[in-house]
Copies of this chain bind each other. A is one copy, B any other.
Amino acid sequence: MRSSRPAVHPVEAPPPQGENADGAPLAARMKDTQGAPGTPGGLGLRLVQVFFAAASLAAMVSTNDFASVTAFCYLVAALILQCLWSLSLALVDIYALLVKRSLRNLQASCIFSIGDLITGTLTLGAACASAGITVLIGNDLEICAGNHCASFMTATAMAFISWFALAPSCVLNFWSVASRL
């Protein structure tokens, strides 16, 4: 009977999965969703966010009387935060692409998704508040003559575009965290 037990574990070990020591073969093997952190799509989304947030900021700051309206000051603050956040994540994405490392780390995804949720909510709120006031000035009160309606509208529209570019990043990060917990 001893001869019928050639090995204790006759089942072959499965090919190694999960993270390996240096991470590089894993990044090459696993298919990242385009738009997730560490992919060209994700970097593109971040650059779009930075570009439109900066353009919105420039349009708003170019008016000399934005500081007299609280909502416009809040938009400027939210856009500065959005610029800094998206720019830092764009740099992280560039680094990940250069060294060909995957950013599918759970802690990193957690931080990215919480940060995206917070900046997204702030930017959406600020853009909506500015839109409300721009429509009030332009359509309801019709006092565009004495105000910089065009700049306010441009800044609001750019802030919305920046938020629309942030939404997929946020959803993908949140999805990536939720599907692994």
List residues of A whose CB falls within 8 A of some B CB: 3-6, 10-11, 68-71, 74, 121, 124-126, 128-133, 135-136, 139-140, 174-175, 178-179, 181
Question: Chain B residues with Cβ under 8 A from A125's Cβ?
Answer: 124-125, 128
Contact of A140 among B70, B124, B181 (CB under 8 A): B70
Determine if B139 and A132 form an interchain contact, defined as CB atoms under 8 angstroms apart: no
What 18 additional pairs, Cβ within 8 angstroms, besides A71-B132, A132-B133?
A4-B4, A5-B10, A11-B11, A68-B140, A69-B136, A70-B132, A70-B139, A124-B128, A126-B128, A128-B128, A129-B132, A136-B136, A174-B174, A174-B178, A175-B178, A178-B179, A179-B179, A179-B181
Determine if A132 and B140 form an interchain contact, defined as CB atoms under 8 angstroms apart: no
Q: How far is A69 from B179 in the complex, measured between Cα atoms in Å?
A: 43
Question: Assuming the A-B contacts A124-B125, A140-B70, are A132 and B135 also in contact, with contact meaning beta carbons closer than 8 angstroms in the complex?
Answer: no
Greatest chain B CB density within 10 A among A4, A5, A129, A181 is at A129
Q: How far is A142 from B10 in the complex, measured between Cα atoms in Å?
A: 81
Query: Top 3 closest A-B pairs, CB basis?
Result: A129-B132, A178-B178, A71-B132
Determine if A71 and B11 form an interchain contact, defined as CB atoms under 8 angstroms apart: no
Question: Chain B residues with Cβ under 8 A from A174's Cβ?
Answer: 174, 178
Contact of A10 among B11, B69, B74, B129 (CB under 8 A): B11
Question: Assuming the A-B contacts A3-B3, A124-B125, are A70 and B178 also in contact, with contact meaning beta carbons closer than 8 angstroms in the complex?
Answer: no
Question: Chain B residues with Cβ under 8 A from A139's Cβ?
Answer: 70
9 contacts between A and B (CB under 8 A): A3-B3, A10-B11, A69-B140, A70-B132, A124-B124, A128-B128, A129-B129, A174-B174, A179-B179
